[in-house]
Amino acid sequence: MQASKKILMFVGDYVEDYEAMFPFQALTMLGYIVHTVSPGKQAGETVKTAIHDFEKEQTYSEKPGHNLLLTATFDTIEPHKYVGLVIPGGRSPEYLRLNERVLQITRYFFLTNKPVAVTCHGPQILIAADVLKGRLCTGYPGLKPDLILAGAIWGEVDETLSNVYVDGNLVSSASWRGNPEWMRQFARLLAGKGYGF
C-alpha cells in the first residue's frame, strides 16, 4: 500500500470505545492504514476505552470498554505522511489538548486542507488548536458554549445525537450514534482529495 493512504488517529486512555473502534475498523476495511497514537506511549501498547451511553440521566453514563492497540508511536509520526486525521471523543480529548504537539499536528491538517473527522468531545482539541473560527462544527451538546466562544458555527444536535456536518475539510458528528454517516462523509472527503480507493 502507498504511504499516501495512511490515516492518523489521536487516542488516549478513556477514549470513547465506539468512536475509536468503529472508524479504525471501517477505514481499515476500505484499505487505509490507520495509525492510532497516544502521547507518551509506544506502538504495541494499549489505551483503555470507555463506553458512553445515553440512558435518560442528565448526562451520559460511562462503562469499561476494551483495550485499544496503538499501531504507531506518537513521538515518531510525521504528519505529512498522512492523508487524514480522526479525533474520537470520550475523556481523552480533555488532556490530549494539553499536548502542544497534538495541537501542532492538528493545525497542520487544517493548514494543508487535509480531511479531519471529529466527534463528540473531540472538538476540544480543535478549540485548543484555534482552528474553528467561522467553521461549522458540532459535537456533544455540552460543548456548544465552548465551540461558540471559539468562533465556530454550532451545528444543531437533535435528540438522536446522530447529527453530522461537513464544512470544507472538516466532518463533525455529535456522538457515536452518527458513526456510519460520519465515516461515510469522511471517506467522501478523502476520495475528493484523491486519497480514495
Q: Which residues are catalytic?
A: 120-121
Spatial CB neighbours of 22, under 8 Å, sequence gap ≥ 6:
176, 179, 183
Residue 37, C-alpha cell as written in the block: 497514537
Place of cell 504528519: 79
Residue 2, C-alpha cell as written in the block: 502507498
Pairing of strands 46-53, 164-167: unpaired
Per DSSP, the three-state class of 150 is coil
Residue 88, C-alpha cell as written in the block: 474520537
Under 8 Å between Cβ of 108 and 79: yes
